[in-house]
């Protein structure tokens, strides 16, 4: 056998031995090839949190920030609250103008963990105010709640004669009724539309899904802020504006507003139709709620100087700091 054939034979034997060695017990397996794996799915990468973060002045009025929050809210309660009362006791006297039929929406719970803000009781008005004109002689709801907590612009505030107030509230199946009696030593409103918070006006905030996002610390699509201007100039042509939700922001000509002025301030009366919110409440319903009064004493500069509220914890962008509004029927108690 020549040398070349011997070399070929030796190479073949060496290859065979190598293959057999890989299959013997204890033989070291070849190192596998590792491929890097992504640490986020495409869904996670392109699905930012919803809502509004605290990047604006917490207790101012008007415009809102738009960036998403950096953390998710804490968990919701694991146990649902007790059901709404089922009493159907009819009124003892029929109203002269009966409310429209009750809605068929799913009832909201009436018992939830208590928030730090105040609880306000809104009675069903079987007889609604005859006119929304800033005169309160036709109001059946007489309870008045204070608006005195300075939540913005304390450096500009000089006391109750500078700015203070109280309010009444009620409802029927057509609208939410609000009357604000405000002490203000100088009435100034030079703005319209989205800028009315830079003058004298009343702001209403409602969390319409209180139980569903009870622990959500940022604004979302069920949180509303409505401004009610005393008019430009004050006492003439009052108007309403919806700042939030962002997607619904607009002037609200359907809101009825009446304003009367006096030597020490003004009375603002408003009827906000439930069509603004797209639903109707029922007795037992609970919402997050805060009402505030904005003040500007400088007719040469459109700026919000001070804001007082019925809720000392109230923050513009955190609905968990708002109080609670309870809708009830006084004739069924």
- Helix (H) / strand (E) element for 181: namely strand 175-184
pLDDT in tens, the chain (333 residues): 555 666 666 666 555 554 444 443 444 444 444 433 333 322 222 233 333 433 345 567 665 433 333 333 333 443 333 333 333 333 333 333 434 444 444 444 556 677 889 999 999 999 999 999 999 999 999 999 999 999 999 999 999 999 999 999 999 999 999 999 999 999 999 999 999 999 999 999 999 999 899 999 999 999 999 999 999 999 999 999 999 999 999 999 999 999 999 999 999 999 999 999 999 899 999 999 999 999 999 999 999 999 999 999 999 999 999 999 999 999 886
- Given the candidates 2.40.50.100, 1.20.120.720, 2.60.40.1190, 3.40.109.10, the CATH classification of the domain at 119-332 is 2.60.40.1190
pTM of the model: 0.71
Q: Is the dihedral of CA 312, 288, 329, 100 positive or negative?
A: positive
Q: Is the dihedral of CA 52, 202, 145, 276 positive or negative?
A: negative
Residues 189, 233 contacting (CB under 8 angstroms): yes
Tokens linked to 270: 């408003």
Residue spans per domain, the chain:
119-332
- Alpha carbon distance 61, 151 (integer Å): 11
Half-sphere exposure of 162 (CA within 13 A, CB side): 19
Instruction: Report the candidate in 215, 270, 268, 261 with the shortest Cα–Cα distance to residue 242.
Output: 270
Residue with tokens 């803000």: 117
């Amino acid at each position: 056998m020549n040398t070349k054939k011997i070399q070929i034979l030796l190479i073949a034997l060496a290859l065979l031995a190598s293959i057999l060695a890989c299959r013997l017990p204890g033989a070291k397996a070849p190192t596998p090839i590792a491929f890097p794996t992504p640490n986020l799915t495409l869904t996670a990468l392109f699905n930012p949190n919803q809502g509004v973060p605290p990047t604006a002045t917490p207790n101012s009025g008007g415009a809102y920030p738009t960036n998403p929050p950096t953390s998710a809210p804490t968990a919701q309660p694991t146990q649902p609250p007790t059901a709404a009362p089922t009493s159907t006791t009819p009124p003892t006297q029929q109203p002269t103008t009966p409310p429209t039929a009750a809605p068929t929406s799913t009832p909201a719970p009436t018992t939830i963990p208590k928030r730090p803000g105040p609880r306000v009781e809104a009675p069903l008005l079987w007889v609604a105010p005859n006119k929304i004109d800033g005169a309160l002689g036709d109001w059946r709801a007489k309870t008045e709640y204070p608006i005195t907590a300075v939540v913005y612009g304390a450096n500009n505030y000089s006391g109750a004669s500078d700015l203070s107030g109280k309010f009444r509230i009620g409802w029927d199946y057509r609208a939410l009724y609000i009357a604000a009696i405000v002490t203000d030593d100088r009435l100034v409103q030079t703005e319209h539309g989205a800028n009315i918070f830079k003058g004298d006006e009343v702001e209403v905030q409602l969390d319409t899904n209180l139980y569903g996002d009870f622990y959500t610390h940022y604004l979302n699509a069920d949180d509303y802020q409505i401004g009610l201007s005393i008019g430009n100039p004050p006492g003439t042509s009052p108007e309403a504006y919806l700042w939030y939700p962002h997607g619904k922001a607009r002037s609200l000509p359907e809101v009825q507003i009446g304003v009367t002025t006096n030597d020490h301030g003004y009375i603002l009366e408003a009827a906000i139709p439930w069509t603004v919110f797209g639903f109707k409440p029922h007795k037992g319903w609970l919402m997050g709620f805060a009402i505030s009064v904005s003040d500007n004493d400088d007719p040469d500069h459109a700026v919000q100087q001070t804001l007082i509220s019925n809720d000392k914890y109230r923050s513009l962008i955190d609905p968990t700091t708002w109080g609670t509004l309870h809708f009830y029927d006084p004739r069924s108690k």
